[in-house]
Amino acid sequence: MKLRFNIWEEIMPFFIPKYDSLRIHDLMLSDSIRTQTYRRAIEANVKKGDTVIDVGTGTGILALFAAKAGARKVYAIEPTGIIDLAKRIAERNGFSDRIEFIKARAEEVDIPEQVDCIVSEWLGVFGVQENMLPSVASVRDRFLKSEGKILPETVDLFLSLVEDRELYYEKIGRWKKQPYGLDYTDFAFCQANDVHVTTFNSDNLLSDPVRIINIDMKYSINSNFKVEKHFKVVREGICHGLAGWFQAIFPGGIILDTAPDQPLTEWRQSFFPIAEPVQVNRGEEIIVKFSTKADNEIVHFIREIVFPNSDRPSFVSDTRKVKFSD
């Protein structure tokens, strides 16, 4: 087996508790599409004199953008130690008086006033995986003025049937082929149940993308949902699973789009494999039952792919099957 060089997809799903490390912040800050889109959205929506909450401020960059845009007061919430660095950066930029850093979990925070705007970069793998949405909702329900803005305002999740022989081999196929002379099919089983961060291009898609859910940040309370969607196959090919991505939309129509045909972001796309590749034909209709289940700091993805016009079995995969808790 050859060591791959872009190993992003190996690791991303397990970043979650490590926001006290410098590396994850370097990565997020270095994604200029992510950071510049938030910057434009903040400049377009935060008015002079506004009060703002930044949920999960990290090194404080969104809070700094809000202060630069004229915010009178920014409450920057962050539970991890990186907040100490954020304070130093705010001081050096001359915003210590306008940004108040609060080291706490968002759910536990108390803000002495209602605010005009909430900003948060709460997005993870397939948008919701980090399960930060309830934290943002908790702050919104307690501290956002009724006419206040929330950035982003909606997050749409998309799926498409996908063909990618090489990716499938790398993630699953090779583990079935006696690597190092050993039977590693149990590892392949886990890999097939997992979600993998990878990159696709439009050529990989076997169906038109389907928006499976529209998350409205004005009202949404958690990351759990359950849908059943029909996918029309647009070309003959081998289905290796589902490609997933999200679109975050800010008030005023500014969009952060992580689709396969868009410039690459740190999120890439998500790959939900099936255990065995299946031949599909143009015009065929495939049913996908997709649900999420929040489990503390992670959202699990459960999916079933049904091939109604054939005797091929449906495939159920579930990230809960790859959780090895200590």
Q: Binding to a copy of itself (CB under 8 A): which residues in 228-267?
A: 264-266
| CA separation, residue 256 to residues 150, 207, 249, 260, 310 (Å) | 15, 22, 6, 13, 38
Q: DSSP secondary structure string, 169-218?
A: HHHTGGGGS-GGGS--HHHHHHHHHS-EEE---GGGBSB--EEEEEEETT
Q: Is residue 219 part of the contact set for a copy of itself (CB under 8 A)?
A: no
Per rule CB under 8 A, count of chain residues that contact a copy of itself: 67
What would the x/- binding string for a copy of itself be over residues 44 to 73, using CB under 8 A? ---------------x-x--xx--x-----
169 in contact with a copy of itself (CB under 8 A):
no
Strand arrangement, sheet containing 226-232:
226-232, 285-295, 298-306, 315-318
Q: How far is the CB of 267 from a copy of itself (least distance, A)?
A: 11
Q: Report helix angle 32-45 to 61-68, nearest 10.
A: 30
Q: Is 56 left (phi over 0), alpha (psi -120 to 50) or beta?
A: left
For a copy of itself, the closer CB: 35 or 222:
35
The residues annotated with a catalytic role in the active site are 121, 130
Query: Per CB under 8 A, which of residues 71..100 are in contact with a copy of itself?
Result: 79-85, 88-89, 92-93
Instruction: For residue 303, give both structure tokens.
Output: 């999916």
Spatial distance between the Cα atoms of 212 and 163, rounded to a whole number of angstroms: 19
CB of 262 vs a copy of itself, minimal distance in Å: 13
The reply to whether 325 sits near a copy of itself by the rule CB under 8 A is: yes
β-bridge mates for residue 222, sequence order: none
Which residues are paired to 291 by β-bridges? 226, 302
| Segment contacting a copy of itself by CB under 8 A, of 15-23, 201-209, 234-242, 246-254 | 15-23
Which parts of this chain interact with a copy of itself (CB under 8 A)?
1-8, 10-11, 13-15, 17-18, 20-27, 29-33, 35-36, 39, 59, 61, 64-65, 68, 79-85, 88-89, 92-93, 179-187, 190-191, 194, 264-266, 322-326
